[in-house]
Amino acid sequence: MSERRENFAKRLQRAFAPQPTLGRELQAALIALLASIAIGSMLMMIAGGAPGHIWWAMITRTASDPYALGQVLYKATGLTLTGLSVALALDAGLFNIGAEGQLTAGVLACACAGVALPAGMPPVCAVALCIGAAAAAGGAIGAAIGVLRVARGGNEVITSIMLNVIVGGVALWLGNAVLFRGGTTRGPAIIAAAELPQLGLGGSSANFSIVLAIAAVGGMWWLRSRTTWGRAWRAVGRDPEAARCVGISVGRTQIFVMLGAGALAGLAAANFVLGHKHAFEEGLGRGTGILGIAAALLGRMHPVGVAIAALVLGFLSSGGLAIADLVPKELTEMLLGVVVLSVTVSTAWVRRRAEVSA
């Protein structure tokens, strides 16, 4: 009996223990970045280029071009929100691979709301309603994944993949049936009051939805670090049974976490619809949900880390265009996948070293 109590006490301690030290998290991220740079350099040499020259050209050309800098911020805005979505679920022991479908649902809902609003509506109200519609649509998809996990035991990875396909198909069907105009894959424009202003960086797509991303980072940091709710979802992620024994409803927590994760992914629609295209388009934002997984892993699930990782990935994506005359564009796209693999390997290695030293 005493041994069982001791084991249970250890599980409680593990479930509610502080997060891994900042040094360990930074070590894992740094190793992943260095490994990615090393592998990228080898790929550049295979392509016949000089790695030092290519990396320097990517940095200088991007930093000296306002348009390129703006595109980095534009890409990083969407990646920050989808990265936070994935990170929130991972914190609770879930893998939200459905951010792609949640973002698509958000894009569709945001555009439809922007079209349906009366033209004379005040901009603050119009933007708020469109953002609310995007978050609600993404949250509904996320909540469905959570309910299937809790009520039916459905693996969230499988259900997320299936819902990504279903949502994408429904969005295309609605576009063909109702939205697309003039033989194009673009719907009607949203009202002018719902448009977000541009940042004015060389005609780039960067817009004021970046404020939304910054607010989401701050809000997630506060919830995760300063509230009982944040400690609860992290405890569920570490040891569900221990969390259940202290009165935390694991099922309800998982559902609400997936709802919040879906809402965060849906919010990214503001960047694409309200700030850039101002209409629904087939494939708008595609790939941002999947790449958000890389942002969450590289950022070590910490909100500030996710934002920094999103900037790094945005730089790699946009910087690849700046050096298209030096290396094939496909090489920089491969680097994004290399980052994910490097993070996975470095995380396991650092964790193993920590366990051995303990």
User: Is pLDDT above 70 for 132?
Assistant: yes
85-107 pLDDT, tens digit each = 999 999 999 999 999 999 999 99
Which range has the worst mean pLDDT, 3-17, 196-210, 240-254, 302-316?
3-17
| pLDDT band (50, 70, 90) for residue 331 | confident
Which range has the worst mean pLDDT, 141-145, 205-209, 229-233, 349-353?
349-353
3-class state of residue 108 by DSSP: helix
User: Is pLDDT above 50 for 9?
Assistant: no
Which range has the worst mean pLDDT, 13-27, 199-213, 335-349?
13-27
Q: DSSP states of 48-89 as a string?
A: T--HHHHHHHHHHHHHT-HHHHHHHHHHHHHHHHHHHHHHHH
Strand 186-189 relative to strand 279-281, pairing: antiparallel
- Closest CA relative to residue 130, chosen from 116, 148, 110: 110
> Exposed, middle or buried, 114 (CB in 10 Å: 0-12/13-18/19+)?
buried
User: Is pLDDT above 60 for 4?
Assistant: no
- Average model confidence (pLDDT) for the chain? 87
3-class state of residue 279 by DSSP: strand
Spans of all domains in the chain = 81-303
| pLDDT band (50, 70, 90) for residue 354 | low
User: Is pLDDT above 50 for 243?
Assistant: yes
User: Is pLDDT above 60 for 15?
Assistant: no
More confident residue, 244 or 77: 77
DSSP state of 277: I
Residue 321 pLDDT: 79
Mean pLDDT of 112-119: 94
Residue 93: partners with Cβ closer than 8 Å, 6 or more residues away: 236, 237, 238, 240, 254
Residue 275 pLDDT: 95
| Rounded Cα gap, residues 78 and 264, in angstroms | 10
User: Is pLDDT above 80 for 263?
Assistant: yes
Residue 304 pLDDT: 92
Identify whether the C-beta of residue 150 lies closer than 8 Å to the C-beta of residue 94: no
